[in-house]
């Protein structure tokens, strides 16, 4: 009951949910969590036809399927493909994910960067600038091809440019000018931008 109740928490992040489901499966199967992981991976290989299904393991397979059906929201094979890999992420990425500061899809993408310092910098930038998954994937090959000293500058400048373009796109789609208060604030911001750009050209 404690495990099930914990899995119903609204503030549960993907890593906590993954660990909670594994703990629940291990409890119901009466095996360790490491053995549970191996069982799930074996089930995946059986489903893909890589190995022949073991008749004696059918009861465990049925129980796993039953538990995921009861939990709802995710099938066991999706759990194996998308959630189990989270447990093998680098510690720097894992700690941030555990705190709920970044989505697990972004964390998995960033974890592919081999250089630790470069990976940590990209992780910090992804959080600070709220980079999208597509932006992160686009930056990875760029920063891996550059020396470490250039990576930070390149990431920061590209991030700011992307934010400006995204803001402009959302601004065009909004109805901010229909609100008098927002319109007044917008006029002030545009005036400040105008001054900023004039100073830039002057310098």
Return the axis-axis angle of helices 58-71 and 14-29, rounded to nearest 10°.
Answer: 140
Average pLDDT per block of 10 residues along the chain, 203 residues long: 70 85 94 95 86 66 93 90 93 92 93 92 93 93 67 55 63 63 73 67 50
Output the pLDDT for position 191.
74
pLDDT of residue 12: 78
**What's the pLDDT at 105?**
93
pLDDT at 73: 79
Position 134 scores a pLDDT of 94
Which is nearest to 113 in space by CA: 152, 141, 84, 83? 141
pLDDT of residue 75: 93
Helical segments of the chain, H only:
2-7, 14-29, 33-47, 58-71, 76-78, 91-98, 104-110, 116-128, 133-144, 148-173, 180-202
pTM of the complete model beyond 0.85: no
């Amino acid at each position: 009951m404690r495990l099930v109740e914990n899995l119903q928490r609204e503030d549960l992040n993907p890593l906590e949910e993954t660990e909670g489901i594994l703990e629940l499966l291990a409890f119901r199967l009466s095996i360790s969590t490491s053995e549970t992981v191996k069982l799930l991976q074996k089930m995946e290989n059986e489903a893909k036809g890589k190995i022949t299904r073991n008749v004696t393991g059918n009861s465990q397979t049925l129980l796993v399927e039953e538990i995921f059906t009861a939990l709802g929201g995710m099938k066991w094979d999706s759990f194996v493909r998308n959630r189990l890999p989270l447990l093998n992420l680098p510690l720097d990425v894992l700690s941030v994910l555990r705190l709920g500061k970044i989505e697990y899809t972004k964390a998995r993408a960033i974890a592919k960067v081999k250089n630790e310092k470069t990976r940590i910098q990209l992780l910090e930038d992804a959080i600070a600038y709220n980079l999208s998954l597509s932006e992160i994937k686009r930056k990875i090959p760029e920063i891996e091809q550059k020396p470490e000293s250039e990576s930070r500058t390149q990431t920061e400048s590209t991030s700011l440019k992307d934010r400006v373009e995204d803001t402009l796109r959302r601004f065009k789609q909004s109805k901010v000018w229909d609100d008098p208060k927002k319109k007044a604030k917008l006029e002030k911001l545009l005036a400040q931008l105008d001054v900023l750009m004039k100073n830039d050209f002057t310098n």
